[in-house]
Each structure stands twice: as structure tokens, then as C-alpha cells.
Chain A
Amino acid sequence: MEIKAVNLTKSFKNNLALDSISFDIKGRGIIGYLGPNGAGKTTTFKILSNLARADSGEAFINGINIKNYKTALKNIAALVDEPEPYDEMTIREFLEFIGKIREMDKLLIENRIKELGKELNLEDLNKKCGQLSKGNRQRVVIAAVLLPDTGILLLDEPTSGLDPAEAYDIKKLLKKLKKTKLIILSSHLLDEIKELCDYVILLDKGKIIAQGSVKSIIKKFGSGKGEKGLEKAYINLVRGKT
């Protein structure tokens, strides 16, 4: 499993969102993708999931250029920028819809819905998505992302809108998934990053300003240990005090 970005550049009007970003992530585990608001995290995810196109540079998923998105995206599932299910569909209909457009087998869709229903504590599957609370909608979206069981996941703030108990369930699930999948996780919650990630990439103003294991980042840029250490390293890096 591999995600590779080569000199990705993207601007919106006159605002440079990504400034020649390159990385090559291989293997399994959770990679933290951090940075302040507007740093370019969501833009990177959008380019990797074909929601936006890079002005220049290239991206590859398992060696397949994202320009060939119909093939490349078969290897990846993405939760980008707080998506929502269709209000008019029930939870089951929405998940079946995602399964069908992924060309999954009918029986497999049913089995995955059962599994994910248990793992994510999805409520009545026949309830319309428009009637769900924010937390429940988020769980439906996560179920839709996990449904095709792809090897690579892009997760942009997956615990956003969830209460602490719900967030705990998602983190538990991610810990299980990291053994078999490559997950790129964007989050502002540094304790979450510290708990889940093996490696982090830190962005600011469209550029990668640091990357390495959580321990090495704390050691190099932070002071102290644990959450405070990562927090200090993050603040030092984004405020240019390194």
C-alpha cells in the first residue's frame, strides 16, 4: 500500500493552497497529517480523492496515477471535509448505494453493512439519514467509507461532531484497522494523533515543514514528554520558533 505525491501544487484564485508538496508513504499504520486551518491538509486529500485537480505535480495510489481515477480510487476510500449522506435515503439505502457504485457484490454489501452496523453502533438502518443527529450522520459516513474495505483510507477529522464515547469507539476501530491498512489521518486533536499515529507529516502554508515519527518530532521540536511535548513541537513549528 502506497500513496505518493510528487510536487503537488494547487492554488485557488491567488491563494496558494499547496506549494510543491512531495511525500511517499508506504506500508501499514496511521500517518498523522497535521497543520493549522488553511495549511493544505484538506486540499491534499481532495486531490488524492479526485475531488480537485492539482495545478501541477502528480499523485499516485499504489503506483496508479490519480489522473486515472477510475482505477486509482478502487484502492482508496476517503472522508474529506465533513461529507454527509443523502437526507432522502435511509441508512441502509445509502450504504447499499455506495456499495453498488463501488460495484460490490450484493451479498458482500449486506455482510459489510451488518459488520459495520455492529462496530459503529449504527441505529435503526431504516431511518432516513435526514432525521439523524450530527454524530449519527458522521457514523453513517464513516460506515460508507469503511464499507468497500479498501487498503488505504484518507480520514479528515473523522471524530469531528462525535461525543467522547463515540470518538472512543472510532479510535478503537482505527487501532484495529491500522494493523491491516494504511490510514492517513488529519486531525486537530493532538492527543488523538499521539494515541493513534506512528508517523506524522506537518504542514503550514501549503508546505511540509516537518515529518517523522511522533517521538522524533517531539524530541526535535518540542520539549517535555507526552501530549504536552507534541503540542509544544506543533506550536514551535507553526509559529516558526524552530
Chain B
Amino acid sequence: MKNRAFYAFFNAELKMAKSQIIAFSFLSFIIVVLTGMLSIKALFNSTDFFESIGLVIWLMIGIAATNVAAGIGVIDFNKRAGLLVLSQPVDRKLIFLSRLFAAFLIILLPITVLYISGFAMSLLLYKVSIPNIFLSYALSVLYAFSFTAMVSGISAMSREKSTPISFGLTFAFLAVFVFAIFSKFIGMQPWFFLPYGGLIISSVMAAPYLMHINPGNYFFYYMPYLNEALLIMLLYLLIFAALGIFYYSRREL
């Protein structure tokens, strides 16, 4: 019987995010096409193109996950609908998890569009497939889930939706500066930072050319190993999902 309540929240989340799914999927396609055009103009070789596509996917996941997940933990607490919804005999953990799983599903579509259009562009421009495409896709999905969990966890601790949005977008856009500061100035890998783990998406696509240390690259001086990246992403996923459930269950209206 619990499943009915779970699916009710799950479906409601999907319905409310319908326009976002379409918008992000459409934008994903456009961005890959534009990256392809840039590759022609800048005379990229195939490795440069794969690396660029990987970075586009990495960045796009951060933006899409932020938008999709920012409302999960806060929507019922800063909108008056929560006064009705949270007074129902439903386990709050179940509400949070159903919305989180819906967000996971929502984000799969733009990621899939990115990979299919990237694969098509690769065949069109270079007559080769993207290396390690399935591994990269799996890592993208894990990165997207981790990013979604992180933003939803922050959302459950926030008063307004703008807080998780600010965190998520700052993580997504300013990640490269964090990499540069920690790598070049402090001399350590930013292993504590989720987007660092997400760099594996681009790294495996361009293999075997991207190395763990790239001395000539200011922003991507360090690249994570696969096991490091997996550990970072899994830790973020588990820690923030747990934090989200904890705060969502205990919050008052």
C-alpha cells in the first residue's frame, strides 16, 4: 500500500518538472551541435572534441541537477501546499525519497540526449565513436545522482529555493577555479569536491590521453582516478541523501 503514496509523489514531481525536462533535453542537443561547430572552426582533433563534449556534459549535469533538485526539500516548507500535504498520514522519508527518485529519472533524459547527440556528432565529424562511451554514460548517471542528492540535501536544510540553486550553480560554474586554487596554489587534489569526481566523465572519454597530472593545464592540473571519482561521487550521494531525509523528516511548518 505504501507504493501508492510513493508513486503519487513520484508522478506529481514528474508532472511538475515536465517543462524542465523538455527544456534541458532541447538545450543539451543544441549545446552538443554548437560544440561540434566549434570543433570544425577551431580544427579540433577527435580527442579535443571528446574532451570538450565530456566537459559540456559535466557542466550541463550540474546545471540541470540544480534546477531539478532545488525544490525537493523546500517546496513543502515555503509553499502553502505543504500545510495540506505534510498533514497526511504519509512517512516523510517516503515523500523525500519519491521526489529524489523522480529527480533522478528526470535528469536521465537530458544526459541520454547529450550522449546520443554527442555520438552522432562524433560519427559525423570524425567517423569514430566516442571512446568508453558506455562507461562515461554510467559515470555521468552516477555524477548526476550525486549532484541531485547534494542539491536536494541542501534544499532540505534551506528556507528558500534560492539557497540550493545558489549552491548548485556555484558548484557547477566555479568548480574550475576551486580546482586551480587547490591544485596550483595549495598543491593538493580537490578530492573533497564533487565536481572534481565528475571530471572522470570527460577523462574516460579522452583516454588514454588525459593523465592524473597535467602540468600544462592550469584548471585541470589534477584529474581523478576512476576509483577516486567513484568514491567521491558515492560519498556525496549517500551523505547528502541521508542529510536530506534527516532534515526533511524533522522540519516543522
Chain A contacts to B: CB under 8 angstroms: 46, 49-53, 69-74, 77-86, 88-89, 93, 97-98, 100-103, 141, 144-145
Known: A50-B87, A73-B88, A78-B87. A103 touches B81 (CB 8 A): no
Closest beta carbon of chain A to B197's beta carbon, Å: 34
Q: A51-B83, A53-B252, A84-B79 are in contact. Are A102 and B88 (CB under 8 A)?
A: yes
A72-B89, A88-B15 known; A103 vs B79 contact (CB < 8 Å): no
Select the residue from A46, A49, A97 with max chain B CB neighbours within 10 A: A97
Q: Which of B5, B80, B82, B252 contacts A101 (CB 8 A)?
A: B5
A81-B84 Cα distance, complex, nearest whole Å = 10
- 5 CB contacts below 8 A, A to B, read A52-B252, A78-B87, A85-B81, A98-B84, A98-B85
- Partner among B4, B15, B91, B253 whose Cβ is within 8 Å of the Cβ of A70: B91
Please determine whether B5 and A49 come into contact, CB atoms closer than 8 angstroms.
no
Q: How many A-B residue pairs have CB under 8 A?
A: 79
A88→B16 contact, CB < 8 A = yes
What is the bound-complex CA distance between A100 and B94, given in angstroms?
14
Instruction: Count residues on chain B whose CB falls below 8 Å from chain A CBs.
Output: 24
Report yes or no: A144 in contact with B84, Cβ–Cβ below 8 A.
yes
Taking a contact as CB atoms under 8 Å apart, the answer to whether A101 and B86 are in contact is: no
List the B residue with the shortest CB-CB distance to A72: B89
| Residue B186 at the chain A interface, CB threshold 8 Å | no
Q: Are A101's CB and B253's CB within 8 A?
A: no
- A82 engages B253 (CB within 8 Å): no
Q: If A100-B7, A101-B9, A103-B4 touch, does A74 touch B89 (CB 8 Å cutoff)?
A: yes
